Amino acid sequence: MSILIDNSSNVLVQGITGGEGKFHSKQMKLYGTNVLAGVTPGKGGEEVDGVPVYNSVNQACSDHPIDTSVIFVPSGFAKDAILEAVDNDIELVVCITENIPVHDMTEVYHYVTNYTDSRLIGPNCPGVISPGESKVGIMPGSVFEAGNIGIVSRSGTLTYEISSAMTEKGLGQSTVVGIGGDQIVGTNFVDVLSEFDSDEETDLIVLVGEIGGSEEELAAEYITENIATPTIAYIAGFSAPEGKRMGHAGAIVSGEEGTAESKAKVLEDHGVAVGRNPDEMAKLAANAI
């Protein structure tokens, strides 16, 4: 079974007439995702690869049973796009857009968390895929295979690498969730860990973290206290040069805190095995199931 999305998810694409929106809408449709409508203000009445375009989310939702939205709009308009989606009661909103100002996301996070029933994934994320059922975002469907491993990740490319290594060993995935690497994201590790732990068909959880912040340390404590499903982890950045800022906006290391080694130690101290490369992760997964 999958979490967040499945073959019944009905998807709206905000920013569908832009280059990224147009390309990935087509890829999602080819994968089998139910892409029902798109939104670009001023482009209402057009079509993109057979998908009708509307001027507003409200108009699209009036004509279609939308429950999921994916956002490809430029960073300067992303805040309004997220708020428009949640104000129309869309259950899952996946924001791919990067470089959204922190003060915009502070406002969005507060509003979505406290005043709506919507779930926001991202921003600056690759999206969500339930292999063989649906994908919402930019993940390359070819590297995933249906199975019983749930993956939650702050990274994009490493998610594909680790999933591909597992797929090559016949280890498929229930759902893969890219939560994004910004300082403020709508959904964190703990949120997704809880979802996977409640999924009867997810038998192993893989957490993919990276340097900076303290999300992995918080996840380690949560796993010990609340998660029954076996969990393994990978931390990107073991070879990162000391004192050099790298990667996402959330990848800020403070002194000895937030390094790959320090995160790995905390996870291992809480009983979570940590792999050092994708192939090792595949081996750990094979042994854990």
Domains and CATH numbers, the chain: 10-121 (3.40.50.720), 140-288 (3.40.50.261)
Which band of pLDDT confidence, cut at 50, 70 and 90, is reported for residue 63?
very high
pLDDT at 252 over 80: no
Between CA 174 and CA 144 the distance in angstroms is 10
pLDDT of residue 155: 87
> Is 144 in contact with 131 (CB distance < 8 Å)?
yes
Residue-level length of the chain: 289
The amino acid occupying position 70 is V
248 is catalytic: yes
> Is 4 in contact with 92 (CB distance < 8 Å)?
yes
- Which residues does residue 12 pair with via DSSP β-bridges, in sequence order? 37, 69
64-104: pLDDT as tens digits: 999 999 999 999 999 999 999 999 999 999 999 999 999 99
121-149: pLDDT as tens digits: 999 999 999 999 999 999 999 999 999 99
Please count the other Cβ atoms lying within 10 Å of the Cβ belonging to residue 47.
12
- 109-146 burial, b at 16+ Cβ within 10 Å, e below that, comes to eebbeeebebbbbbbbbbbbbbbbbbbbbbbebebbbe
Strands (E), 131-277: 134-137, 146-153, 173-178, 204-210, 231-236, 273-275
pTM of model > 0.95: no
* DSSP-assigned letter for residue 238: T
Check 24, 64, 103, 248 and give the catalytic one. 248
What are the Cα distances from residue 194, in Å, to 24, 190, 202, 225, 245? 29, 6, 11, 11, 31
pLDDT at 242 over 60: no
